Amino acid sequence: MISPDGRIEWPFFTRRSDFAAILATPLTMQVCEIFHTGFDARGAGKLFFFATEMLSLHPLAFLVPASLPDLIQSETSILVADAELSFIDVNGREQRLKASEPVEVKTLPVCPDSERLRHNLATILTGLKLFGRSSIVLDLILGCNTEKNVLAGAEAVIFSFPPDLSELLQFIGAGEGLTPAFDDFLSGMLLADRWVGANQITVPENFTAVLKSKTTVQALQQLLFAANGHMSLRFEVFLRRLLLEEIRTTDVVKILNYGHSSGTDILCGVWHYLSSFVKSPAFDNCRK
């Protein structure tokens, strides 16, 4: 039911095997924002994403047919119950999709291949320098325009290993967009830390409260996902390959071009964390 290019056919929908919401009871959501690649809907105190490509699946996302966004509008009510997804479309017709088998996700942690990881990190750095999208995070990592960078005050903490997350909370929300640049960067670091099983970045008790007060719902959920080793499949699949296989510049560019600068900022976080990790005792412990 899912095509080789990651699309699902009508009349089916699915989710990840580690979906982060309980579906044993009916789940009612209301569409709140529509994008080219899907739409957001609020329900049960969470923000769900309805994706039209499999790589966009995160733990609170559904994979739906590519034609579905054209059938809904803001405030459309969507019900998921009894393995069905139903809604009234823009023409007043009831539409029903059937649940198919969940998309299996890879388990973690992953013990990296040392030589390939070092080679891949060099490939990523080259890609960041040549093709990275303009960002306060990229400038910080590459040491450019630091005197004008709002993140300059975070430099000492960021470049220590492991970074003290409690000292970085003041920078949450820095940058523009649905997921601000610093939040994307921190998500990348957390994701990499969890995937190698190092767990060197400790999440403070007030983490969620600070996120709620300083950033967007999208960024809040992404950071909480990352703190548990999850994000969209686009980044999880790439990270697994980064740790175990050889990656090419073309692979890096695809990630860098994701979103306005989110791909660049997340990849900066992944690269920065792993570049410090391979020089630390934690890396030797990971390989034992």
Output phi, psi for 63, to 5 deg: -95, 125
Query: What is the structure's pLDDT at 175?
Result: 92
Amino acid at 142: L
Query: What is the structure's pLDDT at 147?
Result: 67
pLDDT band per the 50, 70, 90 thresholds, residue 49 = very high
pLDDT at 268 over 80: yes
Write the DSSP assignment of 9-32 as a string of letters: -TTEEEEBTT-SS--SS-EEEEEE
Q: Which residues contact 262 (CB under 8 A, 6 or more apart)?
A: 177, 179, 184
Looking at the chain, list the stretches that DSSP marks H as alpha helix, in order from N- to C-terminal side. Answer: 114-131, 136-142, 155-158, 181-195, 207-214, 217-227, 233-244, 249-256, 262-277, 281-287
79 beta partners: 28, 86
Give the CATH fold of the 12-99 domain: OB fold (Dihydrolipoamide Acetyltransferase, E2P) (2.40.50)
pLDDT at 84 over 60: yes
Q: In whole numbers, what is the pLDDT of the chain averaged over residues?
A: 94
3-state secondary structure of 53: coil
Domain positions in the chain: 12-99, 114-287
Query: What is the structure's pLDDT at 130?
Result: 97
Residues 194-207: what's their mean pLDDT? 95
Output phi, psi for 17, to 5 deg: -70, -20
* Cis upstream peptide for 109 (omega within 30°): yes
Interval 233-266: pLDDT, tens: 999 999 999 999 999 999 999 999 999 999 999 9
Query: What is the structure's pLDDT at 279?
Result: 92
Radius of gyration of the chain (CA): 19
**Quick one: which of 190, 188, 230, 231 has its CA closest to 207?**
190
pLDDT at 271 over 80: yes
Q: What pTM, to 2 d.p., does this model score?
A: 0.95
